[in-house]
Amino acid sequence: MNRKKEVPSMDRWLKEAKMHESAPLVGMYLVHNGTVRETARDRVRSMDETAKPVTGMEFSYDQEKVDRAIEDTYNLPGIYIFGSG
């Protein structure tokens, strides 16, 4: 059985977020659609014409560093947590 995780709808999430009581405090909702460009960074920045097109990407992260960055961000003035009221 193939159990694929359902991709969340950004349109649905944004609609819900904009209806929340904290919406007037929000200046921007930032999302990344996960698209990887085909043009290699070296080709663009270093004008390296031999750089091959990008065909994939490996992604990893340090969960402790991510959690720390999120916590630090929540402590900045003007940052509001969706759903915190």
pLDDT per position as a tens digit, 13-68? 899 989 988 888 888 888 877 777 778 777 777 888 888 888 887 889 999 999 99
Distance (Å, whole) CA 71 – CA 37: 30
Residue bearing the bigger pLDDT, 82 or 33? 33
Closest by CA position to 36, among listed 53, 18, 22 = 53
pLDDT band at 2 (very low <50, low <70, confident <90, very high): low
pTM of the model: 0.45
Q: Would you call 68 helix, strand, or coil by DSSP?
A: helix
Alpha helices by DSSP H, 1-85: 10-19, 41-45, 63-74
